Chain A
Amino acid sequence: MKLDAKIPSGPMAGKWEKRKFEGKLVNPSNKRKYNIIVVGSGLAGGGAAASLGELGYNVDCFCFQDSSRRAHSIAAQGGINAAKNYQNDGDSVYRLFYDTVKGGDFRSREANVHRLAEVSAAIIDQCVAMGVPFAREYGGTLANRSFGGAQVSRTFYARGQTGQQLLLGVYSALSRQIGAGQVRMHPRTEMLDLVVVDGHAKGIVTRDLITGKIESWAADAVVLATGGYGPVFYLSTNAVGNNVTAAYRAHKKGALFANPCYTQIHPTCIPLSGDHQSKLTLMSESLRNDGRIWVPKKQGDTRTPGDIPDAERDYYLERMYPSFGNLAPRDISSRAAKRACDEGRGVGPGRLGVYLDFRDALSRLGDDTIRQRYDNLFDMYERITGENAYNMPMRIYPAIHYTMGGLWVDYDLMSNVPGLYVLGEANFSDHGANRLGASALMQGLADGCFVIPYTIAEYLAGTAPGEVGTDHDEFKKSQNEVSDRIRALLSVNGKRSATSFHRELGLLMWEKCGMARNEAGLKSALEMIPALREEFWENVKVTGSGNDLNSELERAGRVADFLEFGELLVTDAITREESCGGHFREEYQTEEGEAMRDDENFSFVGAWEYTGETPILHKENLEFEEVHLAVRSYK
């Protein structure tokens, strides 16, 4: 299979203009004849459904939560980037483009990233018009902050709830289209299969999560915006419902899965407290502005932190990265924490944690200043841990946070299956091997509101509307497969709950394929995952029936997909014999323990084809015309 990214020719800055002009259009009076399915109602899916509805297409939008407003985009805290240069501090489209490519450790597609930077400004305009209450200066203009180590202040924010406010903006636009009858919303409906007819995506099969009804939906194009697959690690900062099911089923129907091994770790999460744990809570990185990170110098030191004198503390980030110190980038500070814990110097229950200490900041700035800056975070910390961070250091540990990999898409965001578009975190396109803070929200809205409305017309213009209906054999086949699988899950009647398998898979993934990976570990994971999967199908216990609201059944279906997908992720990690961004292979590091890229051999997108047996790797070579390959350094 030849992967054609269909990147417009010509200079970088003119590619999107050119693409918009050359693309085919659908006549306004014909738009209503086209049905489009959008799966997902986050920033990407919700934005797409609303925008396509506004254009006059007939849209059906699906999500598994009880309301489109609850998609996981809601949880983003920090902010959204845009090249507005409102602060007059030297930002520009080019700089945002440059930072994103570099931040992605040179594993993203330049043309896509450039377009993302170009449309970023329009996103902020649109959000303000929708009523998103961004933070403001006294003069009434928008406020910005610098985020994630960026040198310019380009992040727009709404308190610590930026994702929520953006999603509510999108939700309101979507609600308007639903009210107008242009979009039909199907909440509590899970996509369980993609239907491909003669090589083209023509619909989906879903399960109504309340009645259990399996249903077919036909359309002229299918848009997937189903978010990331972080919970393949079981514990992550993601919502517990996030899953890979929709993307994976599309993968099984022919869509290539790109770079699954690119996963991002966030360094400031609240550590694990026990086996019961179901998720890890992220705390804003801003805490690192005033907190100092340390572990005891001695292994297995069980003294309370207050009893450990400064001389016996190791402020390891300050020691190793004197110029960035506690503000070293996410992946670097995460790995440093892991190293400290691996050396037996971790703190807290299970010894998987490091201290984030405000002692010095409190004595320098006083309680009041710290309270002003971080009170809600200190509260949140206390709620979860029962410890008061004014009196003793916080404990933090890295956790899985974001997944850069996803279904392969071309410049138009269409997968290799014609008619299947993939947006947001579910695709692979813009963040390379590592995502910069505040860029995921930007990508979701860019894809949904400003890219897909243009690019989908190209495909639709070449397709007669309503060609295939749900009476087509492929729908019947697909529906039967889905029903059989549900029956199979219900009939195993073993001894272990789906959650227990999920937990075991997650732990395995985290240990063998988490923050740091090596060949031996990955190989053993490749043996363990199939065995676990086999046990799952022999020993899982799913109670209840398939004909009503059955959260056990939903979970089991998702875990079953994770058990297959995990193997693909590990396969990708083993194949990529270099360290880049969120993918750190211990074999490929400098003497100082920094990641070592291999641009010679691995400057490609690894897109996997499903075969039922060993997956086949297809490579899309990455060319860097604008940004010159360089080694990231934060010393």
Chain B
Amino acid sequence: MKQIAHWYLSSIGAKLVMAVTGVLLFGFVLGHMTGNLLMFAGPDAMNAYAHFLQEKGMLLLAVRAGLLAIFAVHIASAIRVHRQNRAARPEPYAVSSYLVTTYAARTIFVSGLIVLAFVIYHLLHYTLGVTNPEFLRMLDPQGRRDVYGMVITGFTNRAVALSYIVAMLLLSSHLSHGLTSLFQTLGLHGPKFKPLVNKVGPAVAIVIFIGFASIPLAVLSGRLN
């Protein structure tokens, strides 16, 4: 146990933990997005899916708790890594000119923080119904929770829709570096597949962005109602 704590506290250990938790979180994001896309299949499909999840009861709670823990570990490591990095490079160069690093890479902590803020808002908004208690009371004709209607109502508020789109932009930015980076972190990188791996992050990030942002956009443009 002491050993494991020791590695976790080392720089490579911390990064490994972030990569593993990052992959798991990404898995969730992917699943979540696929689920969300059921919006385009109509209210019935969407609400049936939501109902299916909610029926799982304890299991759902366990998964949520697990996700939260993973998220927490990811964030805790991120904060530690970030602070160490600031301490190692307190002073910027008077002329700063980077050669190859990307904007996404340099702002990954900030994009992560904004995603965190978004996640909190998102949970309060749709899952816990704190911001809009009426959402939890919406039911569809079959008596299931009307998730479909809730999303439509939520996104008809332009400000809310816009904030979701911006948040997804930052999540994509986070992933566009993160998903490439994790190959390197996990040691799954070599000169041969470098060109490929370097494209994976940005490519998947675009897909994620389109997948998530399509919903508020569709609502705003009136294609979903």
Chains A and B share a contact (CB less than 8 Å): no
Contacts from A to B (Cβ < 8 Å) = none
Contacts from B to A (Cβ < 8 Å) = none
